[in-house]
Structure 1
Amino acid sequence: MRRRVAPLLAAIAIASCFGLPHPAVAVPEPPPLTVNVADTDTLGRVLTDPQGHTLYRYDLERAGTVGCTGTCADTHKPLLNPPGAELRLPPGIAGTLGTVTRPDGAHQVTYDGSPLYRSTADLGPGDTNGADLHWHVINPRNAPVPAGTTG
């Protein structure tokens, strides 16, 4: 390995002396965000899935448990974490992502212990039609102002 690095370093040094371009060094892309943040027309800044669909928590669940199964999960789709995928919040968002195991063995994403769901009542990104007596959007603490807006 050492024999291969020395010629590369020498080539970079020579290129620098003569003002030649440096060889490109690939910087690894960070893993995708697990959740994102968006502003809604009715309920403020909320957590969303990567496609911009509002995420909800269910009041009848306790931290670390899943209560929305069967027909409930037909209308409130759990946000699942693919095996081996890193959990990532947007920069500046307070809180903790985790997972809880669903009865079918899938790993559902949690925010501060609450399992996260999308509502089939929401037709597109930014909709909040799934909010009701027991289902609530998640308004993250310390959410930064999205780029291109004023706060």
Structure 2
Amino acid sequence: MIEQRFHRLGSHPLIVLCAIALLAMAGPASARSNGPDARVEVREQSPYGRYLTDSKGRSLYLFEQDKQGGTMSTCVDACANTWPPYTVTGDPTVGKGVVSSKLGTIEREDDIRQVTYAGWPLYYFSGDDRPGDALGQDVEHLGGEWYLITPKGEKVVHGERSEAPDIGDTGIENPSGVSQ
């Protein structure tokens, strides 16, 4: 397959070199890293209460098909395109309200480190477009349920999937996630 791509590109050395570099960097959504220091934050939003997000306020989910405290993710291939894992190249860090002893990582089968919380691998939902979106909440997909996760490490059992409230009518009691 790679040879076919190069054949179409011609034999110019610079073009071939650039193509090799692009192919080496490309990969499935599951192989993208969130940087050296993935940060887990807490957001509070009605009707979910307090739940985990990344540093940009994007919702993080657990997948009930994963084994809590297990050493691997069950969400690979097509699953990881819809539910991209929250990954890190360095060590994840904690925001206010996040219990540092609950934060960890597992090694995915593609040699990428995925952030875990209370033993649950953490994921995004590809349908969430902006901070505060929770369209993956309480969704049954790929043989299991997906839930937001609380700072205690438990699934959020209340509230249905929803888009972020409009600016001005946020419904967000504490958008920064910082306890007052």
2:97 pairs with 1:86: no
CA contact (8 A) 2:41 2:53 kept: yes
Give the structure 2 partner of residue 34 of structure 1.
Answer: 39
The SS at the match of 1:78 is coil
Pairing 1:48-87 to 2, within 5 Å after superposition: 48-62=53-67, 63-82=70-89, 85-87=90-92
Residue among 83, 100, 108 paired with 2:106: 100
Q: CA deviation at 1:93?
A: 2.5
**Cα distance in 1 between the residues matched to 2:105 and 2:178:** 32
2:151 pairs with 1:140: yes
Runs (4+) of structure 1 exceeding 2 A deviation are 91-95, 145-151
CA contact (8 A) 2:61 2:124 kept: yes
Question: RMSD of the alignment, in Å?
Answer: 2.7
- Identity across the alignment (%): 33
Q: Deviations over 1:100-128 (max 9, x none)?
A: 11111000000011100000111210111
Of 32-41 and 109-118, more deviation after overlay is shown by: 32-41
**Cα distance in 2 between the residues matched to 1:112 and 1:47:** 12
Q: CA deviation at 1:76?
A: 0.4
Aligned AA for 1:74? Answer: N
Q: Which runs of 5+ in 1 are unaligned?
A: 1-30
TM-score, normalisation: structure 1 = 0.67
CA contact (8 A) 1:43 1:128 kept: no
Of 85-94 and 44-53, more deviation after overlay is shown by: 85-94
The SS at the match of 1:118 is coil
Of 32-41 and 47-56, more deviation after overlay is shown by: 32-41
Give the structure 2 partner of residue 130 of structure 1.
Answer: 136
Residue among 119, 122, 125 paired with 1:119: 125
Aligned AA for 1:41? Answer: S
**Cα distance in 1 between the residues matched to 2:110 and 2:134:** 27
Q: Which runs of 5+ in 2 are unaligned?
A: 1-35, 154-172
**Cα distance in 2 between the residues matched to 1:97 and 1:68:** 19
Q: CA deviation at 1:69?
A: 0.4
Closer, same or farther in 2 for the Cα pair 1:41/1:91, shift >3 Å?
closer
Aligned AA for 1:140? Answer: P
Closer, same or farther in 2 for the Cα pair 1:92/1:125, shift >3 Å?
closer
